[in-house]
Amino acid sequence: MSNTQLAPSEDHSFFGQPRGLGTLFFTEMWERFSYYGMRAILVLYMTHAILNENNPGMALTAETAGAIYGIYTGMVYLLALPGGWIADRVMGQRNAVFLGGCIIAAGHFSMAVPYNGTFFLGLILIVLGTGLLKPNISAMVGDFYGQDDPRRDAGFSIFYMGINLGAFLSPLICGYLGEEVNWHYGFGAAGVGMLFGLIQYKLGAKYLGDAGLLKATPEAYRKDRRTLSIILAVLGAAILALTLAVWKGVVSISMTTVAGAMTYIIIGVAAIYLFYAAFLSGVTPVERKRIGVIAILFLAAALFWSGFEQAGSSLNLFADRLTDMTVLGWDMPASWLQSANALFIIAFAPVFAWLWLFLAKRHLEPSSPLKFAVGLIFLGGGFVVMVFAALLTGYGGAADLDYKRVSVGWLLVTYLLHTFGELCLSPVGLSTMTKLSPKRFVGQMMGIWFMAAALGNVIAGQVAGQFEQLPLPQIFGTVTLTTAGVGLILLVFVKPIRKLMGGVH
* Average pLDDT of every residue of the chain: 89
* Cα 446 to Cα 448: distance, rounded to the nearest angstrom: 5
Burial class (CB in 10 A: 0-12, 13-18, 19+), 441: buried
Q: In the predicted model, what is the mean pLDDT of residues 482-505?
A: 91
Helix ranges (DSSP H) in 204-339: 218-247, 255-279, 285-308, 314-322
Within a domain: 179: yes
Within a domain: 34: yes
Look at residue 154 in the predicted model and tell me its pLDDT: 77
Within a domain: 232: no
Look at residue 213 in the predicted model and tell me its pLDDT: 87
DSSP strands (E only) in 6-46: none
Q: In the predicted model, what is the mean pLDDT of residues 477-497?
A: 95
- Which comes out higher in pLDDT, residue 145 or 378? 378
- Closest C-alpha among 343, 349, 324, 342 to residue 334: 324
Burial class (CB in 10 A: 0-12, 13-18, 19+), 282: exposed
Distance from chain centroid for Cα 174: 18
Same domain, 269 and 180: no
Of 174-183, 221-230, 361-370, the poorest mean pLDDT is in 221-230
Same domain, 330 and 423: yes
- Which comes out higher in pLDDT, residue 311 or 7? 311
Q: In the predicted model, what is the mean pLDDT of residues 266-281?
A: 93
Main-chain phi, psi angles of 12, to 5 degrees: -125, 30
Q: In the predicted model, what is the mean pLDDT of residues 54-65?
A: 91
Same domain, 174 and 263: no
Within a domain: 242: no
The model's confidence at residue 416, banded by pLDDT at 50, 70 and 90, is very high
Give 400-434 as a DSSP string.
------EETHHHHHHHHHHHHHHHHHHHHHHHHHH
DSSP structural state of residue 7? P
Pairing label, strands 406-407, 323-324: parallel
From 192, 215, 238, give the residue that closes a domain. 215
pTM: 0.91
Same domain, 211 and 260: no
The model's confidence at residue 33, banded by pLDDT at 50, 70 and 90, is very high
Same domain, 211 and 263: no
Look at residue 1 in the predicted model and tell me its pLDDT: 42
Same domain, 337 and 188: no
Q: How many CA atoms does the CB half-sphere of 154 hold within 13 Å? A: 10
Same domain, 272 and 397: yes
pLDDT at 491 over 90: yes
pLDDT at 443 over 90: no
3-state secondary structure of 13: coil
Same domain, 200 and 87: yes
Main-chain phi, psi angles of 486, to 5 degrees: -65, -35
Within a domain: 279: yes
pLDDT at 257 over 50: yes
Proportion of the chain in helix, strand, coil states, percent, rounded to 5: 75, 0, 20
* Cα 72 to Cα 66: distance, rounded to the nearest angstrom: 10
CATH number, residue 411: 1.20.1250.20
Within a domain: 293: yes
Look at residue 401 in the predicted model and tell me its pLDDT: 62
Within a domain: 223: no
DSSP structural state of residue 365? P
Number of domains within the chain? 2
Look at residue 232 in the predicted model and tell me its pLDDT: 84
Same domain, 314 and 197: no
| 8 Å CB contact between 502 and 290 | yes
Same domain, 210 and 259: no
Same domain, 18 and 126: yes
From 166, 194, 215, give the residue that closes a domain. 215
- Closest C-alpha among 86, 182, 75, 62 to residue 120: 75
Tens digits of residue pLDDT in 304-354: 999 999 999 999 999 999 999 988 888 899 999 999 999 999 999 999 888
Within a domain: 234: no
Same domain, 169 and 275: no
Range of the domain at 281: 255-505
Q: Which residues pair with 327 in a beta bridge?
A: 330
What is the phi-psi region of residue 372: left when phi exceeds 0, alpha when psi lies from -120 to 50, beta otherwise?
Answer: alpha
